[in-house]
Amino acid sequence: VAIQCLETAFGVSMEDQGLAVSQTLPEIFEAAVGKEPEHLRANSEPVTPSEDDIAEAERLKTEGNEQMKAENFEAAVSFYGKAIELNPSNAVYFCNRAAAYSKLGNYAGAVRDCERAIGIDPNYSKAYGRMGLALSSLNKHTEAVVYYKKALELDPDNDTYKSNLKIAEQKMKETPSPVSSETKAGHSSLNRVLCFSPLFTQASNIMNNPQVQQL
């Protein structure tokens, strides 16, 4: 009965082939949440790059490094991206592109690439260090401290990580907590409301009345 009511209400029919969909409900759900259906997953396994692809990717990375030295950061991003396309399992390419993104002010892109690099090589200290820089640039100093500490854990003698960690820790102390800021903002808003309320105005008039002041 419920189906018949819906068909009548919307003017559709279960027998209308034009309304048929090619996917089942679970497949539609998996696609919506970014999960591939089981029958497609086997075909999406990462392909091992050929020796030629690996060599070309290294050449592209080297060219990207040269562009970084020349401060052509957009070109560097392009070369590193092409290297990644040929060999997406190399953490260095992602980390280098993260550095180029940071130079362009694209700190969110740098964070994403550092995450990819760390996912490929969890012991890659440079990826943690560059992640710390990107997070600091986004004023996420608490998170940056965590990554700098991990970078130092992997490379204890790196003076750059030590210096950046101290800066991030200092910034973290200077930055007010969200709760504190919200509380201050709330007090300020409350004061403005009270100052312009009729009750406050009436009380102010009473207190300024000469007869009251003589009491």
pLDDT tens by residue, 9-27: 656 665 665 555 445 555 5
Q: What is the pLDDT of residue 175?
A: 77
State how far the Cα of 123 lies from the Cα of 36, in Å rounded to an integer. 29
Name the pLDDT band for 118 (thresholds 50, 70, 90).
very high
Mean pLDDT, the chain, integer: 79
The residue among 112, 120, 55 whose CA lies nearest residue 83 is: 55
Amino acid 181: pLDDT: 47
Distance CA 50, CA 57 (A): 10
Q: Answer yes or no: is pLDDT of 91 > 70.
A: yes
pLDDT in tens, 139-176: 999 999 999 999 999 999 999 999 999 999 999 998 77
The pLDDT, as a whole number, for residue 16 is: 60
CB 83 within 8 A of CB 90: yes
Is the model's pLDDT at 83 over the cut of 90? Answer: yes
Alpha helices in 105-140 (DSSP H): 107-120, 125-137
Fold topology of 51-174 = 1.25.40
pTM over 0.85: no
Other beta carbons within 10 angstroms of residue 18's beta carbon come to 6
| Lowest mean pLDDT across 13-22, 112-121, 187-196 | 187-196
